[in-house]
Amino acid sequence: MDHLAVLPYIETERQVTSRGQETVVHNRKLYLYETQISAFSRVFALEEVYDMSFRKMGEGEGIFYLHTKQGVYPYRINIDPVFFIHAYKQISRV
């Protein structure tokens, strides 16, 4: 199954080691397919996705919000998500 759009996002994880607390940054991607949106650790059926929104937070970064039946999921991004949102709106109208 080929994806219709991709949205890179940043996931931050804190790990406690013998040297102290460390922050690990993961570069992940949201994939939009005809029937679902797939993140690293979650899959959302499109019929359970209500909307998407974006809030700019400073220079070049923002929070992309995925509004679903299970709740609102925030993803930290550093690119404009307009292409991803437009692709979703195109297939959600069908």
pTM score: 0.88
pLDDT value for 58: 83
Q: Which domains does the chain have, with CATH numbers?
A: 5-92 (2.30.29.30)
Q: What is the tens place of the pLDDT at every residue in 82-93?
A: 999 999 999 987
Q: Which residues of the chain have pLDDT under 70?
A: 94
CA–CA distance, 27 with 90 (Å, rounded to integer):
27
3-state secondary structure of 90: helix
pLDDT value for 31: 98
Three-class DSSP labels, 42-76 = CEEEHHHEEEEEEEECCCCCEEEEEEECCEEEEEE
DSSP 10: E
